[in-house]
Amino acid sequence: METLQVNTLSRPYCIHVFKEELQTEAETFAQKHLSSLKAEKHLILTDENVYRLYEKTIEELVKNLGAEILIIPSGEKQKSLRRAKKIYTFLLEKGFHRNSLLIALGGGVIGDLGGFIASTYLRGIPFVQIPTTLLAQVDSSVGGKVAVNHPLCKNSIGSFYQPSGVFTFLPFLNTLPAREFRCGLAEVVKYGVIRDRDFFFYLLEKQTV
């Protein structure tokens, strides 16, 4: 595991990068990283595609944390106030309070939606990101940008709300379609173009897709 520190004025946090599969680390990960946040209740928010691919892994996390799980349909359409309202209702009915932890396990849609829910439910509860796509791992899970869409504009309702941690498991990338991987890689290349010449040319030397 490698750890990167992210320093922000509102909440410093760490990005933990694992080369192992989450399934093989589920018990240790739950006890060492998630339980250390001392939440009294846990919600794992994920979508149907991620759950279909990683059902055994997710259920292992649910068991080790004693967590609730909420599986929503996949797709950008779910980043809406309508979906947010349904999640608020679930949290209220299940008795989630301020000392609860929301775990956003999925791609950018789940991360953005989960972060938005965490930032607004009871005026803010802790949340962590477990990004499953390259784009989410290098972009949307970092920086605290959380939002839902409006019919007139994407990401128009939201805030900046930093996670308590980001946990990146590289083997999640093994199930990504090539197109999705390239979308994430384009974001990585953009960082080199904007800020780091040496990094950009390093990427050119290593290109394989």
106: left (phi over 0), alpha (psi -120 to 50) or beta: left
Residues 169-197: tens digit of each pLDDT: 999 999 999 999 999 989 999 988 998 88
Position with higher pLDDT, 171 vs 23: 171
Select from 209, 28, 42 the least CA-distant residue to 118. 42
Residues 81-103: tens digit of each pLDDT: 999 999 999 999 999 999 999 99
| Burial environment of residue 142 by CB neighbours within 10 A (0 to 12, 13 to 18, 19 or more) | buried
The pair of structure tokens assigned to 14 is 């760490």
Contacts 24+ apart (CB under 8 A), 155-159: 155/79, 155/112, 157/81, 157/116, 158/112, 158/116, 158/119, 159/116, 159/119, 159/120
Beta strands 13-18 and 153-160: pairing type?
A: unpaired
- The predicted model gives 41-68 an average pLDDT of 95
Radius of gyration of the chain (CA): 17
Give the integer Cα–Cα distance in Å for 134 and 140.
Answer: 10
Give the integer Cα–Cα distance in Å for 152 and 175.
Answer: 33
Which pLDDT score, from 0 to 100, does residue 25 have? Answer: 77
The CATH number of the domain covering residues in 2-175: 3.40.50.1970
Would you list the domain boundaries of the chain?
A: 2-175, 177-209
Q: Where are the beta strands (DSSP E) in the chain?
A: 2-6, 13-18, 41-47, 68-72, 100-106, 127-131, 145-150, 153-160, 165-169
Which pLDDT score, from 0 to 100, does residue 132 have? Answer: 97
Residues 103-152: tens digit of each pLDDT: 999 999 999 999 999 999 999 999 999 999 999 999 999 999 999 999 99
C-alpha dihedral sign at 123, 127, 133, 138: positive
Return the residue matching tokens 């605290």: 144
**Which residues on neighbouring strands pair with residue 4, listed in sequence order?**
15
Which pLDDT score, from 0 to 100, does residue 23 have? Answer: 80
Query: Average model confidence (pLDDT) for the chain?
Result: 93
